[in-house]
Amino acid sequence: MAYRVTFIPGDGTGPELAQATKRVLDATGVDFDWDVQEAGVDVMKEVGTPLPESTIESILTNKVGIKGPITTPVGTGFRSVNVALRKACNLYACVRPCKYYEGVRTKYKDVNLVYIRENTEDLYAGIEYEEGTPDNLRLIEFIKETHPDASLGPRTGISIKPISVESSERIVRYAFEYARDNGRKKVTAVHKANIMKFTDGLFLAVATEVAKNYPDIEFEERIVDNMCMQLVQKPELYDVIVLPNLYGDVLSDLGAGLVGGLGVAPGANIGTEAALFEPTHGSAPKYAGLNKVNPMAMMLSGVMMLKYLKEAEAADLMESAIADIIREGTSVTYDMKPDRDDPTALGTAEVATAVIERMKELGA
């Protein structure tokens, strides 16, 4: 049986990374029927939107997809294709493993974290009011009435942070179920409830209540700023970390830094009806077409997809081959070399070829 999978190349370096990953996935022996769809700045020039409705429909129909990175404009324009996809497909759980692979240059050797990030609300809900607009001014007047000491004027921008019981319960339950299904021992809820008592306070209260249903899994909570320090000082003490949207975005990048950078940081966005797999890093448009960017993060996202499809043997084979290539350090891109100017560094496509050859040696 072939798996019908939505395949989104993305933009910038996305198409190169996506093609390299597709080749490796095909080489595992799993039968894929790729449904190629477009999203990003390139397709926007053609159809007037970076996220065509056909792409959303494809993911909802096929129930699983994998995508290359997509450029998000800074400060202006379309808010984010990634955020829009998560909302449109109700992909409420962002799962980002941060695992050390031997051969990666980092002083942290004992790291195997999984971040479970709530995907649908918090400040990323995008409820913002621009300075000087009528809605913004009405909000300013309301805030002044309830908080007379607030220093707000017409040049103030306002962003609203919704946190709900339903979404908090759903993501925390997902984190505990993930821990149980994957042999993990502890879940840590991260918050700022000491300051934001009605939003983060609600998240913490819900997490504490949900934890009572999982007596086999240790539960603890950490304030977000302390958690940053803890992760830098002793990451080996942590296991599964569940967070609201913004903290999850920030701390998962910190986790990637612990294990060597975004080049080895895969990710998944999972909902009740569909799942979409993608690397954590961005599209790096300045490197587009140069066959230079590290494909490991997207390949590891492919490993996550295989696990999601219950193709455990293929997932283990692909991850083992990737781990071998990283450990040996010869068939890798420039960023994984001790000397970034090392002339023996391979290109994106050549790394894919090396992984495929290693899979053959391991028994693909």
pLDDT per residue over 316-331, tens digit each?
Answer: 999 999 999 999 999 9
Provide the pLDDT for residue 79. 60
Domain-located, residue 196: yes
Q: Are residues 46 and 83 in the same domain?
A: yes
Q: Are residues 201 and 272 in the same domain?
A: no
Given the residues 42, 200, 249, 324, the one annotated as active site: 249
The residue count of the chain comes to: 364
- Identity of residue 296: M
Q: Compute CA 8 distance to the chain's CA centroid, rounded to the nearest angstrom.
A: 16
Pick the closest to residue 360 from 309, 325, 308, 332 (CA basis). 325
- Would residue 339 show up in a list of annotated catalytic residues for this protein? no
More confident residue, 4 or 142: 4
Confidence band, pLDDT 50/70/90 cuts, at residue 220: very high
- Give the DSSP H/E element, type plus range, for residue 164: none
Q: Decide which of 196, 230, 258 is a domain's last residue.
A: 258
Q: Decide which of 215, 237, 258 is a domain's last residue.
A: 258
pLDDT above 60 for 139: yes
- Would residue 92 show up in a list of annotated catalytic residues for this protein? no
Provide the pLDDT for residue 345. 95
Q: What percent of the chain has pLDDT over 70?
A: 98
Q: Are residues 204 and 290 in the same domain?
A: no
CA triplet 225, 248, 95: central angle to 5 degrees? 145
Given the residues 26, 225, 342, 360, the one annotated as active site: 225
Domain-located, residue 102: no
- Would residue 115 show up in a list of annotated catalytic residues for this protein? no
Interaxial angle between packed helices 53-62 and 81-88, expressed in degrees from 0 to 180 and rounded to the nearest 10: 50
Q: Are residues 208 and 114 in the same domain?
A: yes
With contact defined as beta carbons under 8 Å apart, do 316 and 302 qualify? no
Provide the pLDDT for residue 364. 62
With contact defined as beta carbons under 8 Å apart, do 190 and 247 qualify? yes
The string over 103-112, giving b where at least 16 C-beta atoms fall within 10 Å of a residue's C-beta and e elsewhere, is: bbeeebeebe
Q: Mean pLDDT score of the chain, rounded to an integer?
A: 94
List the helix and strand counts (H, then E) for the chain: 12, 12
Domain-located, residue 22: yes
Q: Are residues 115 and 155 in the same domain?
A: no
Provide the pLDDT for residue 320. 98
Provide the pLDDT for residue 147. 83
Provide the pLDDT for residue 73. 57
Q: Are residues 231 and 112 in the same domain?
A: yes
Structural domain range at position 60: 1-97+263-364
Given the residues 100, 108, 115, 124, the one annotated as active site: 124
Q: Exposure of 286 by Cβ count < 10 A (0-12 exposed, 13-18 middle, 19+ buried)?
A: exposed
pLDDT above 70 for 225: yes
Q: Are residues 203 and 316 in the same domain?
A: no
Each residue's pLDDT tens digit, 18-49:
999 999 999 999 999 999 999 888 888 788 88
Each residue's pLDDT tens digit, 168-185:
999 999 999 999 999 999
Task: For residues 73 and 218, give the distance between their C-alpha atoms in angstroms, rounded to a whole number.
Answer: 40
Each residue's pLDDT tens digit, 209-219:
999 999 999 99
Provide the pLDDT for residue 148. 84
Provide the pLDDT for residue 349. 97
- Would residue 87 show up in a list of annotated catalytic residues for this protein? no
Q: Which residues contact 220 (CB under 8 A, 6 or more apart)?
A: 186, 187, 188, 189
User: Taking the model in full, what pTM does it have?
Assistant: 0.93
Q: Are residues 209 and 241 in the same domain?
A: yes
With contact defined as beta carbons under 8 Å apart, do 6 and 35 qualify? yes
Domain of residue 27, CATH code: 3.40.718.10
Q: Are residues 331 and 283 in the same domain?
A: yes
Pick the closest to residue 81 from 91, 72, 92, 94 (CA basis). 72
- Total of domains in the chain: 3
Q: Exposure of 27 by Cβ count < 10 A (0-12 exposed, 13-18 middle, 19+ buried)?
A: buried
Q: Decide which of 258, 280, 306 is a domain's last residue.
A: 258
Confidence band, pLDDT 50/70/90 cuts, at residue 247: very high
Q: Are residues 61 and 197 in the same domain?
A: no
Given the residues 192, 200, 247, 324, the one annotated as active site: 192
Q: Are residues 156 and 168 in the same domain?
A: no
Q: Are residues 187 and 281 in the same domain?
A: no
With contact defined as beta carbons under 8 Å apart, do 164 and 200 qualify? no
Provide the pLDDT for residue 305. 98
